[in-house]
Structure 1
Amino acid sequence: MDKFFGNLHAVLAVGFVLAIGILLSPFYTDYVTLDANHIFQWLHVFFGIIWIGLLYYFNFVQIPTMPLIPAEHKPGVTKHIAPKALFYFRWSALLTVITGAILAWLYDELHEGLTFQAGYQLIGVGMWLALIMAANVWFVIWPNQKKALGLVEADDATKAKAGKTAMMASRFNVMLSIPMLLAMTNMH
C-alpha cells in the first residue's frame, strides 16, 4: 500500500477513475444529465482548489514560517519545495481560468459576465477578480519568485526586492480571493 500511496500519479489516476465511475453510475445519471457543463464545473473546481489552496499555503504557512527556519534548512524550502509548489500554483491558476471561461461560455455567461450585464454582475465580478489574480500569478509573482529563489541570476538586493514584491502580490491575491470566492460560489 505504501508504494501505491507514495506515487502521486497513481493516486490521481485512481481518483479520476473513481470520479468517472461515479459520473457514469445510475445514482449520478438518474438525477443529473451528464454534459460538458458538469465536466467543466468539476474541473474548474478541482483546479481552483489547487490554485487557491497553494495561495493559502504560501500565505498562511510558508511565508510566516520562513523567518523561523534556521538558515541551513532554508534551501530545503527555497530550492525544492517552493519551486515545485510554484509550478502547480501557476499552472492551476491558468487551468482554473481556462476551465472557468469554457464553463461561462457553456452557460452563456461569458460575454454577459465580463461586461457586467444585468443579472450577470456577480459572476462578472468573480471573473474579473480571477483574471486579475491569474495575471498577477504569471506576470508579477512568478517572475519575482524566480529571482527571489535564485532560479534566475540576480544579486542579493534584487533577490530581496523581488521576494518582497512577490509576497505583496501574493497577499493582494489573498485579499481578492475572498470576494472572488463569494462571487463565484453564489452565482448559481
Structure 2
Amino acid sequence: MHDLAIMWDWIGFAVRWLHVITAIAWIGSSFYFVALDLGLRKVPHLPAGAHGEEWQVHGGGFYHIQKYLVAPENMPDHLIWFKWESYATWLSGAALLMIVYWVGGELYLIDANKADLALWQGVLISAASLSVGWLIYDFLCKSGLGEKPTLLMLLLFALLVAMGWGYNQIFTGRATLLHLGAFTATIMTANVFFVIMPNQRIVVKDLQEGRTPDPKYGKIAKLRSTHNNYLTLPVVFLMLSNHYPLAFATEYNWIIAALVFLMGVTIRHFFNTMHAGGGKTWWTWLVTVLLFIAIMWLSTAPLMHDSYDASEARPLSAAEQTFASAEGFDEVAAIIPGRCAMCHAREPFYDGIHRAPKNVLLETGADIARAADLIYLHSGVSDAMPPANVSFMEDDERRAVIRWYLNATRG
C-alpha cells in the first residue's frame, strides 16, 4: 500500500501536468484567434466572401491571414480544426478532480460541519452538478436571450454566483472554488463540443455539397466563443486557488469567486478593445485593482477557518483508525505537532502564515491519522515538509514516520 501511495501521487502529478499543458494550448489558441478576429482589416481587392485580412510576423516568417464570415467559394484540401485542446483540457481536468476530490474526498471534498453527507453522496453531487450549468446556460442561449448578449452575460454571471454559493453550502472551501472552476470549464468545453464544432461541420458540409451556407451558424458559434473568452481568466484563477487558503478558506469564498469573474470581464475588455482598434481603456485596470483590493479584504474579514475547524466532529474512517492504532503512532503523534503545527494549526503562529497550508491540520492525533498519506509522502519519503526544514526535523524522526506508515499499511 505504501508503494501505491507513491504511485498514486505521481499519477496525480502527471495528470496535473497534462492538464496544465492542454490548458495552455487551449487558452493560447483561444486568445490568439480572438485577437486575430478583432484585428482583421477590410482592404481593397479581398477575395469574394472574405471579411478581412491581417499580416503577421513570427519566428522569422510572414503570415498572411484572411477570414471568411461563412466559407470560401471552394473548400481547401487541408483544413485544421481547433478542438482537441479544449477536449483534452476538460478530460484531464475531470481526471484530476476524480483523483484529488473523489478518491481523497474525506479530506478534501466533504465538510461535515456544513452538510452531513457520506462520501458517495458528495461524489454524486460533484459529478451531477457539472452538467447542470450547461443545461441551464444552453437553454438560455437558445431562447430569445441569444439576441440580447448583454442580458445573457448577466444571467450567466448570476448562475455562476449562485453555483458558487451552493457549492459552499456543502463542500470544503477548497472544493468549492475548484468545482466552480470545473463547472465553468464544462460550459466552455460543451460550447465547443455541442455548438461550435457541429455548426462548423454544417457549414463545411453545405459548401462541399454545393449549397450556400447559412450565416446564422457562424453567428451562434461566435456568441459561444465570446462567452468562452470572458470566462477563461476566472477559470485559471479557480484552478490555482487550491494552493492559496486566503482565497478558499473563508466564508466569503463564493463572493471572492464572483469578483474574480468580474475581473475576467474587465481584463478581457481592455485587450479585446485594444485588438479591435478601439484604443486602450485604462479605466478597466483601475476597476480591476479595486476588485482585487476587495478580494484581499474579504479573505480576512473576518478571519475564519473553513472546513477542518470542525473536522474532529467527523469520526475517523476505518482506514484512518488503522493509522491511529498502528505501532509507532504515539511516537509520530509526539513528533509531528512540534515540527508542523506552527503552520498546520487552526490558529497558525508562524510569521506570515494566516491559515494552515491547503487547510491541512496536524495538531491532534486525529488530524495526523487523517493526513497519514500526506505526512508519509512529504515528511517521510521526501523532505518537502517542513519547507527548508525550518523546524529542524531530524532524519530519525522521518524514519519514524516511515516505520509507522509501513506498519499501518502492512498490517
TM-score scaled by length of structure 2: 0.32
Q: Report SS of the residue matched to 1:35.
A: helix
Task: Give the aligned partner of residue 54 of structure 1.
Answer: 29
Matches within 5 A, 1:39-118: 39-62=14-37, 64-65=39-40, 67=42, 70-71=46-47, 74=50, 83-84=79-80, 87=81, 89-108=82-101, 112=109, 114=126, 116=167, 117-118=171-172
Say whether residues 1:135 and 2:135 are aligned partners: no
In structure 2, C-alpha distance between the alignment counterparts of 1:76 and 1:177, rounded to whole Å:
26
Task: Give the aligned partner of residue 3 of structure 1.
Answer: none
Please, which moves more after superposition, 100-109 or 120-129?
Answer: 100-109
Distance of aligned partners of 1:132 and 1:83 in 2 relative to their CA distance in 1, 3 Å threshold: farther
Q: One-letter code of the match for 2:11?
A: A
Task: Give the aligned partner of residue 19 of structure 1.
Answer: none
CA RMSD between the two structures: 3.2
In structure 2, C-alpha distance between the alignment counterparts of 1:40 and 1:133, rounded to whole Å:
20
The structure with the largest strand share of the pair is 2
In structure 2, C-alpha distance between the alignment counterparts of 1:66 and 1:109, rounded to whole Å:
49
Distance of aligned partners of 1:145 and 1:129 in 2 relative to their CA distance in 1, 3 Å threshold: same
In structure 2, C-alpha distance between the alignment counterparts of 1:67 and 1:91, rounded to whole Å:
31
Say whether residues 1:182 and 2:158 are aligned partners: no
In structure 2, C-alpha distance between the alignment counterparts of 1:66 and 1:169, rounded to whole Å:
23
Distance of aligned partners of 1:56 and 1:152 in 2 relative to their CA distance in 1, 3 Å threshold: same
Q: Report SS of the residue matched to 2:179.
A: helix
Shift of 1:90: 1.5
Shift of 1:70: 2.0
In structure 2, C-alpha distance between the alignment counterparts of 1:93 and 1:71, rounded to whole Å:
31
Distance of aligned partners of 1:100 and 1:132 in 2 relative to their CA distance in 1, 3 Å threshold: same
In structure 2, C-alpha distance between the alignment counterparts of 1:124 and 1:143, rounded to whole Å:
27
Shift of 1:144: 1.9
Shift of 1:50: 1.2
Q: 2:215 aligns with which of 160, 163, 169?
A: 160
1:88-142 deviation digits (Å, cap 9, x = unpaired): x321211111111111222125874936312211101100000010000111111
The structure with the largest helix share of the pair is 1
Task: Give the aligned partner of residue 201 of structure 2.
Answer: 146
Distance of aligned partners of 1:185 and 1:55 in 2 relative to their CA distance in 1, 3 Å threshold: same
Shift of 1:34: 6.8
Task: Give the aligned partner of residue 178 of structure 2.
Answer: 123
How many positions carry a matched residue from both structures?
A: 150
- Gaps in structure 1 of 5+ consecutive residues: 1-32
Q: One-letter code of the match for 1:96?
A: T
Q: One-letter code of the match for 1:151?
A: V
In structure 1, C-alpha distance between the alignment counterparts of 2:11 and 2:24, rounded to whole Å:
20
Task: Give the aligned partner of residue 172 of structure 1.
Answer: 227
In structure 1, C-alpha distance between the alignment counterparts of 2:35 and 2:17, rounded to whole Å:
26
Q: Report SS of the residue matched to 2:205.
A: coil
Higher relative contact order (CA 8 A, sep 6+): 1
Shift of 1:66: 6.7
Distance of aligned partners of 1:38 and 1:98 in 2 relative to their CA distance in 1, 3 Å threshold: same
1:13-66 deviation digits (Å, cap 9, x = unpaired): xxxxxxxxxxxxxxxxxxxx9701111111001111111111112211135427
